[in-house]
Amino acid sequence: MSLRAVIVGYGSVSAVHAEALRSLPDADVVGVCDVDPERRDAAQRELAVPTASTVEDAIRRFAPDVVHVTTPHHEHEGVILTALAAGCDVLTEKPISSDLSSADRIVAAAESAQGRNGRSPRVGVCFQNRYNLSAQAMKETVDSRRFGAPLGAVATVAWHRPPEYYTSKPWRGAWSTSGGGLLINQAIHTVDLLQWIMGPVVEVRGRVGTDALGDVIEVEDTAALTLVHESGIRSVLMATNAAPTNLPVTMDIAMEHGNMRSGTELLITGDGAPDQVIKERLPSDRAKVYWGASHGELIKDFYGGFGSGKPFWIDPGEALHALRIVKAAYDGAGGFPHRAARDLDLGNPYLR
């Protein structure tokens, strides 16, 4: 029996979900929901499926097993709660939501959701970069302590987002709809990897500013953060949407007896062991190179666990860690909107 998928929000990233679903033998897109009639027309044309203008109507007419949430950040909660109330599994794009109280409601709803036939619906969050071969190898190397304890990490996200990226979809540049800019929308993947691989974050220090696109957006486009992990080690993150092009995300991890450097491939060097090079998967045509190539892997894994009764490993509670770190950075920066980079305070209440 093929699982029935509905995509809610037929914008930029939905094509990646549709493509991943096409490659799964046991899943079909049976409908699309979008509030924009032009996007509904595009879905009908491109996927040859019926469309709906509200998630309620989509669930009633298309009876999905899984609802994919690919709407703007502030529209995640309503769609997720409606789908959960109908007993559907939910796969939502990151971040869980645009603000923390909304994210907390999603976590609570996911934990208490009742499915059909006594099956609890699962909620997965698309932090697909955890499936990157380099990320998996870095996590395994740190956890195994093969080269001793980790000493710290340095990561860079140097990407290019022109004014049109924001003017064509104004929700992306507004605090009330996106909940932030570079950090919540782009660098959150790297924030998530840092906390996943290096351990829980208890303190955030640094600078957040709108250095390049101040005439276009009210949210930030540049950040330099130092994350203090529970173990006392630090990760440094330098991130910007003001680079001239989209460069590969890099991550360096220093260990007592070795080092790891990831970019387009991962190099692991360590005392007494031959150098190891792990090539990263190439993205498909549709996936933008800088989004990574692992959406398909995450989606396959999520569908593979349908009906297992077990929560998906990247559930809302797990995805909340990265959102808390991002919000701690904003809160410490003294709130938005502001144009100038400024120092953050320490001791943030969001990190618990």
Ligand X SMILES: NC(=O)c1ccc[n+]([C@@H]2O[C@H](COP(=O)([O-])OP(=O)(O)OC[C@H]3O[C@@H](n4cnc5c(N)ncnc54)[C@H](O)[C@@H]3O)[C@@H](O)[C@H]2O)c1
Could you list the residues that contact ligand X (CB under 6 A)?
8-13, 33-36, 39, 55, 70-73, 75, 79, 93-94, 126, 128, 169, 185, 291
Give me the least distance between CB of 58 and ligand X, in Å please.
Answer: 8
What one-letter code names the amino acid at 283?
Answer: P
* Closer CB to ligand X, 53 or 308, in the complex: 53
Determine the Cα angle at 243 with ends 238 and 245, to 5°. 125
**Which strand ranges, in their side-by-side order, compose the sheet holding 89-93?**
51-52, 27-33, 3-8, 66-69, 89-93, 123-126
Give the sheet arrangement for strand 150-158, strand by strand: 273-279, 265-270, 258-262, 250-255, 150-158, 234-240, 222-229, 201-209, 342-343
Distance CA 71, CA 12 (A): 10
Shortest Å distance, C-beta 146 to ligand X: 30
Our CB check for ligand X shows the closer of 185 and 235 to be: 185
The rounded distance, in Å, linking the Cα atoms of 226 and 311 is 32
**What are phi and psi for residue 265, nearest 5 degrees?**
-145, 170
Please identify, using beta-carbon distances, which residue of 152 and 292 lies nearer to ligand X. 292
Determine contact, residues 309/119, Cβ cutoff 8 Å: yes
Cβ of residue 259: shortest distance to ligand X, in angstroms? Answer: 27
Spatial contact of 218 and 173, defined as CB atoms under 8 Å apart:
yes
For ligand X, the closer CB: 299 or 344: 299
Bridge partners, 173 (sequence order): none
- Token pair of 333 as six digits: 């920066």
Question: Whole-number minimum distance, CB 182 to ligand X, in Å?
Answer: 12
Q: How far is the CB of 347 from ligand X (least distance, A)?
A: 29
Q: 124 vs 206, which CB is nearer to ligand X?
A: 124
Query: Nearer to ligand X by C-beta: 72 or 311?
Result: 72
Nearest residue to the partner ligand X, using Cβ: 11
Give the shortest CB-88-to-ligand X separation in angstroms: 15
